Amino acid sequence: MKRFFEAAVIGYGTAISNSNAGVRLWVTGFCDPGLQRIAFSRNDRIGGGTIAVNHPNDAAIDALRSAVTLSPENEALVQQLIKLLVDLMRYDEAERATRDALQRHRGSVVLQLTLADIYFRQGKDSHALAIVETLAVGKNADPRAMVMHARLLQRSGDIRAAVSTYREAVERDEDVADSDLASLLGVEDFGTPDAGAVSDYRDAMAEFASHVEDTESDETVNVQSERPEQDFSSVGGMEGVKDEIRVKIIYPLQHADMYAAYGKKVGGGILLYGPPGCGKTHLARATAGEVSSTFISVGISDVLSMWLGSSEKNLSAVFQKARESKPCVLFFDEVDALGASRADMKQSAGRHLINQFLSELDGVDHDNEGVLCLAATNTPWHLDTAFRRPGRFDRVIFVPPPDQQARQEILDLQLKGKPTDQVDTTKVASKTSDYSGADLQAVVERAVEVKLHEAVKLGMPKPITTKDLLKAAKQVRPTTREWFSAARNHALYANEGGLYDEILEYLKIKR
C-alpha cells in the first residue's frame, strides 16, 4: 500500500512561490514502504519531471534547498532547512547553510543563535562564545542568548556564573526557562538562604570588619621603570605597525617643534591587538628604546587591590609616575583586564576603576603631554568602547602573525650566537606559515634541546642545521589558529564599525 502526499516541501505542507522571480514550484510524491524510495513529480514553468532519491530525508533536504534557491529572502524557509539538518545531526551542512544565510540576513539574532547552537553541539565552545557574548550582555541582552551563555559557562565548569546568567535570563523572559539546564545547574541549591544563614553571614562580616576597620591599607605601587636598549632593529618584520607607531609616537618626540607649529601635542595612545605571541609587548619596549625614553610596563597585579578604592589610587599613582618620568612610554599589557566592557559588569567597583582609567587618559587633573600610552590585548571585543574615543586609544592597530620575510628575520635573530651549520632560514620560514614569534622561538628552543641532548652524549657540541629546525617545526603547532577561529566570528558578526576589517583581510574573507 502506498502513502500519498502533496506539498511544496515534504513534511511542511506549504506551497512555495516566488512571484518576483516568475517561478512556481509544486512537488507531489509518494513513498513505497517496501522499496524505501520516494518519488516526486514537479510542475513549473520550465517543465515537469520525476526525481527519485534513495532516502526520504535526503529528498526533504533537496526539496528545501531547491525552495531556498528559488526564494532566498525567505528567512523562515531557511530556518526550516537548518532545523532539519540539525535534527539529522548533519552539523557541518547546517553550519554552512547558516553562514550562507547570515550573509544575506545580516543582523538576524535567530540565525546567530542558531549558529551558536550548532557550534555548541559540535563542541566548538570558543566559536559559540564569540557569538553569544555579543548578544548576552548589556541592558538589551537577549534572554535566549543568555541561556546559551549559561550552557557554555556550565560546560566550562563555571557553575556560579552559569547559575547567575540563567536566573537573570529567566527573570527577563520566563519563556526561555530550560528545565534540563536548570537540573544540570542544580538551581534549587542556590535558592534564597534562610534567615539563619543570613544572620550568620552578617555576624561573620561584622567580625571581619572589626578586624580591619582600624587598619588603613598602606599598599604602594611599585612599578619598575627602565630605559630599554633594544629598538626597532630587534623587531622582525611588522613594518606597517612600526610606521603607525612612528607617526603617532616617535616623530612627535623627534620633531617636537614642527608638531607644535601645527598644534599637535606629544602624547596619545595606541591599542595593539592580535593573536598571542606575535610581539606586542616586545614592540612596546622597542618603541621606548627607539626614542630613548623611560618605559613603564603595567600589569594587573600592579593596579588591582582587595581594598575598596585602592585600585583607583594605584592606577592614578602609575600615571603620576609616568608624568614625572616623561618622555615616557606607559604600557598596559592585557588591558582588557583593567578596562573590560562596563556593560558586562554587575558590580560597581569595576566601573569605578574604568572611570578612573578614562579620566587619567584624558588628563582631566594633570597634563599628559610627553606620556605615550601603549596597550595590548588579545581580545579587543571585551574592551570598553569608551577607550577608543579620540584622545585615548584612538589608534587601534592589528598585529598579525609575521609574514615569511618577518619569520626569516625572527629566526635569524633567535639563532644569533648559537652554533649553526649553514641554516637556510628562508626554507624554514616558508614551512612555518601562521607561526607567531613565540612559536618560532619554541621551534628554535626545541632544536637546541635536541642538539644539547646529543652533545651531552657525544661530549662535544654539534651545530644546528636546517633539518633540525624543520623537524622541530613539525612538533610545534602554530598557536594563532585557535585565536583566529574566535576572532573570525567577531569580525563577521560584531563588526558594525569595521574595526576588525583587518582580520577579514588577513583571512581573505569578503563581507
Q: Which residue has the higher pLDDT, 450 or 223?
A: 450
Rounded Cα distance, 189 and 273, in Å:
41
Confidence of residue 473 (pLDDT cuts 50, 70, 90): very high
pLDDT at 433: 92
340 SS3 class: strand
DSSP state of 335: G
pLDDT at 29: 41
pLDDT in tens, 187-230: 754 444 555 555 555 566 555 555 544 444 445 567 778 888 88
pLDDT at 21: 39
Rounded Cα distance, 128 and 53, in Å:
34
Fold assignment, 225-398 = Rossmann fold (3.40.50)
Of the listed ranges 37-46, 333-342, 459-468, 492-501, the least confidently predicted one is 37-46
CA 380 vs. chain centroid, Å, equals 7
Rounded Cα distance, 95 and 122, in Å:
10
Q: Which residue has the higher pLDDT, 290 or 25?
A: 290
Q: What are phi and psi of 509, to 5 degrees?
A: -110, 130
377 SS3 class: strand
In this structure, the number of other CB atoms found within 10 A of the CB of residue 309 comes to 13
Helix axes 75-87, 56-70, angle to 10 degrees: 160
For the cut 50, the answer to whether the pLDDT of residue 254 exceeds it is: yes
Going from N- to C-terminal start, the domains of the chain cover: 225-398, 404-477
pLDDT in tens, 319-377: 999 998 888 889 998 888 888 776 665 555 677 888 888 888 887 778 888 888 899 99
**Quick check: do 225-398 and 404-477 share a fold?**
no
Of the listed ranges 84-93, 118-127, 190-199, 404-413, the least confidently predicted one is 190-199
pLDDT at 7: 38
* Confidence (pTM): 0.61
Span 253-271, average pLDDT: 79
Span 412-419, average pLDDT: 90
User: Looking at domain 404-477, which CATH architecture does it have?
Assistant: Orthogonal Bundle (1.10)
